[in-house]
Chain A
């Protein structure tokens, strides 16, 4: 059974810091990995999608890497801003299950002005 773990569960940083969020998954047979952010009481916003054949994806101040063989992904946020405060979730799609996203528990990020 695929399990996804995110560390740390919560993170508080001052504005301007660069930070790294971690995601690990137990079954390396994934099709892709996605990073989402969720604001309190809201739905999920897709940030980055990495196919299993890719090593990283970048969008603005965000960079996500994927090491499929070791079952790890990181989300790097450069020059953090208070508006980045949210819960960040990673999710994997297994080749066998096709459509199902298996989510981690999330990292709650607070960026202090």
Chain B
């Protein structure tokens, strides 16, 4: 079974631009969560989607948004990029709830210049 895939793997943007990251969960998994990892803040929860609905949200500004499609694939969007948005963005999937084992993708490394 293929693991969680994320595209693109690397991205360079400039301040003020917007970016969309994509995550394909493991086949059959319906819960998708997103995390931001930075050296200073560690891993922080962004949001979780289940059956195309946002089920939980972390403490991030409204510039961070996401969605989930009927095939469980998920995208997250960051508008008006700031330098501090440079991070590794990780996506995790689980079967039904995130209270089960979560499987992480390789991440998308975003650099904002």
In the complex, what residues of B have CB within 8 A of residue A104's CB? 42
Q: Which of B35, B104, B109 makes the CB contact (< 8 A) with A45?
A: B104
Q: With A97-B56, A99-B31, A105-B42 in contact, do A46 and B103 touch (Cβ < 8 Å)?
A: yes
The CA-CA distance from A31 to B50 in the complex, in Å, is 19
Kindly identify, within residues 56 to 113 of chain B, every residue whose CB is under 8 Å from any CB belonging to chain A.
56, 58, 88, 90, 92, 97-107, 109
The CA-CA distance from A100 to B35 in the complex, in Å, is 10
- Surface stretch bound by B, among A20-28, A36-44, A63-71: A36-44
Q: With A34-B101, A42-B107, A44-B90 in contact, do A99 and B42 touch (Cβ < 8 Å)?
A: no
Q: B33 an interface residue at 8 Å Cβ cutoff?
A: yes
In the complex, what residues of A have CB within 8 A of residue B90's CB? 43-44
Question: 13 new A-B pairs (CB below 8 Å) besides A100-B58, A101-B45?
Answer: A41-B109, A44-B104, A89-B43, A91-B43, A98-B56, A98-B98, A99-B33, A99-B56, A100-B45, A101-B33, A101-B43, A103-B42, A104-B42
